[in-house]
Structure 1
């Protein structure tokens, strides 16, 4: 099963969902992460599949990023994960998971690489 962490208001996320539906090879699990944010454990597992540190999943242009002073390099991955769980707008989108592989759909070719 392929899972997409999706924001229907985001054009890149909509494009990623359309790409996945075109492939139509597996069941598709669509999670609107602003309505149903991942838990800290789920987000940590996603980061492991993406093979990136938490900081690389942050949307630095969101107001919460500055408000929470997340630019502070002394913050641990766990602290950043906790911030993203509490404020899911901070999570970069879309995220697509296919088994043990995952990709951030910017650019869309990242998703094609894991299908």
Structure 2
């Protein structure tokens, strides 16, 4: 896909910043990495954008793949923590869908922007 990585990464960064996420950005050649976090939280989303041969690859790691937390902590006052984790997971699932649609539109709009 003939899309300028700098332009696409700028669009992606803006997508998250408009939603009030904090974005850390790094670039290594044809690979751009972003760590997206909620302000005052340790929860993160990782995004990579890279060119592999002639293809454009955008990956997002939204949901922690760990098994769901046990409900045992709720017996010891951990219910609020568990509720926070469940709400975070739900919000990430929604964000992942929105991000996927956003990237599709951005890639179509930026098609032909790269001068490789």
TM-score normalised by structure 1 residue count: 0.28
- Which structure would you say has the larger Rg? 2
- Report which structure shows greater RCO (CA 8 Å, sep ≥6): 1
TM-score normalised by structure 2 residue count: 0.28
